Amino acid sequence: MNTLDNAQLPAEERRRVWAEFDSTHPVLDPPQRWVGFRLRPLTLTFWRGDPAGQSTRQHYRLDDGAWSGEILAG
């Protein structure tokens, strides 16, 4: 089973799979030269699917330091 399939499992089964993974993989320390990036998005869109109906999008936009949002059809 690949990682994407795990998201479709019931919650208890996902927890079991994650615990199994954690028990077989050691905790790794980050590299000495760890690099990070800071992102400053201007827009964000979240999609929500609905198998029984229409999906929706929640769209947010940053203007003059304030976020505004709207709901869009999927």
Residues of the chain with pLDDT under 50: none
Q: What is the pLDDT of residue 40?
A: 92
Q: How do 66-73 and 56-63 pair as beta strands? A: antiparallel
pLDDT number for residue 4: 56
DSSP state of 54: -
CA pair distance 47, 61, nearest whole angstrom: 15
Answer for the pair 44, 63: CB distance below 8 angstroms, yes or no.
Answer: no
What's the confidence (pLDDT) of residue 34? 87
- For the stretch 22-40, pLDDT in tens is 899 888 888 888 888 899 9
> Where do the domains of the chain lie?
3-73
User: In the 8-state DSSP scheme, what is residue 51?
Assistant: T
Q: What pLDDT score does 68 carry?
A: 97
